[in-house]
Structure 1
Amino acid sequence: MVHSTPRAATGDPAHADPAAHEFDRDTALVPRGDATFDAVISGGWSVLGAVNGGYLKALLGRALSRTLPHPHPCTATAHYLSAPTPGPAVLRATVLRTGRTLSTGTVSLHQTGSDGAEVERVRMTATHGDLAALTDHVGTSATPPAVAPYDRCLALDAAGAPGALTDTPIVERLASRLDPDSVGWALGNPSGRGRMAGWFAFADGREPDPLSLLLVGDAMPPAAFDLGVVGWTPTVELTTHVRALPQPGPLCVVTATRNPAGGFLEEDAEIWDSAGRLVAQSRQLARMPRTAAG
């Protein structure tokens, strides 16, 4: 069960104070006009030398929050076309449709390649709405997962053997923790279930909001690690459904994979807030860690 105390819901990601927290500074945009934005990709959200896909997705999500008439991502699908590098980037957004309760757009991230030509790195299509305007009706059979309380879980940089999750910049930006049942892989004793459970939180105290939920589903150690396959797990496509405004406090996250095959795996994530509500779900297709797939 989720063991946190609910508080007031968080606000609009499009109007977050960019100076307040590192996540907001590192997803800050400078508008050029015509739904085009300049950004700087931070290397602080990297894993094993690769910029985290959830962070990139949040960067694109901020561009659409500033372009579409509705503030919150409800569903967003990103395709990772080539590997971004830390440094300058240009984001170009397009409005596809606007309606009374939902609006849809697409946004792409571009960088200058080694030959001086512009290269598209990531493209995302998303539908936005106003999560604060949703009805109070909840008819769900989903139940919060059994995860140890936050203070009984292990910090990411202390969860594994030396080098397992250390020297990974994204870890320094998070106060996330892993359930003791999810760290066997780091000790050479993976469970083989393909399941990872724990808590997500920002190290600087930033509270979760709809924009950060685009990061959370890709910010925990991959479920493949629990199969004993540890290494960089590049995301090919990542879809996130944001279901509600999250309450403040750590988010309970459970990820799982059931079908590693052909050098690829799917990873499903459930994200629960401190009030015990399922606030986001995600699924991604990723390549198997290079140690397994070659």
Structure 2
Amino acid sequence: MADTHSETSSQLSSPGDHGSVDSGFVSPNASTVSLPRISLTQPHIKHLNKQLENLHPMDILRFCKIFFPNLYQSTAFGLTGLVTVDMLSKLDAESGTPQPIDLIFLDTLYHFKETYELVDRVRERYNVKVHVFKPADVDDVAQFEALYGEKLYDMSAELYDWIAKVEPLQRAYLDLKVAAVLTGRRRSQGGQRGDISVIELDDERGVIKINPLANWSFGQVKAYIDENKVPYNALLDRGYKSVGDWHSTVPVGEGEDERAGRWKGQDKTECGIHNKQSRYAQLLEQAALQQQQQTA
């Protein structure tokens, strides 16, 4: 899997050095002024969502490619994200002047081997650039566990989410100067996603989030995958409908929600990158403020 990691973007200093936190909130010791923010008022966002709500995802993507600068797609290569990748490739083909949207992939180091294999297949099929971001200062599980111990995901789920997912995503936004990002979230996935809009302002992270398939069902997504022969994770055929880290993902039972296999038995439905500021992030913020006061 060397190729999967060959385009890993450069990493900043460790989390403790620059004060980034779980939700994307940045402490007084850091700055997000380099982010090319897009100024949209809430009434403007409401108007855009009203216009986009009933459009086909392809039309939503057409609009987004024109309207949003520094547009990227953040994906864990789930079915919805794969549909988006395929649709974007079709838009490039019809335009005659391809302007591909780069992908952002958070390599937690704990993905299934089938996921890493899929990353390579997608890169080859669509000739798309994949920016891979790992936990800061580590390259593999051995290094990660040497720093944080074994099974951090069980010992401190919030700390794990921040180190493995949220901080790398915040770093990706900063390094790539992301202004807007396409996600694979859909309302039919349930949980906190049940009432998402097509366009959202993530004011904590300083980016616009776009959910082009927000109103599609799992059946619609799977039908598109099949009809267009889009490569997908081999785990789907083994009962997985949503795939994350191997330590927190199990097959979905008959009649269960699509994401029921994620963090099964735990009181959570999101890993942190789509949540507001976590308790761990708040502690980091408080520590940074205390340190600033002591040195003032």
Q: TM-score range by the shorter chain?
A: under 0.3
Q: TM-score, normalised by structure 1?
A: 0.24
Q: Which has the higher contact order (CA 8 A, sep 6+)?
A: 2
Higher helix residue share: 2
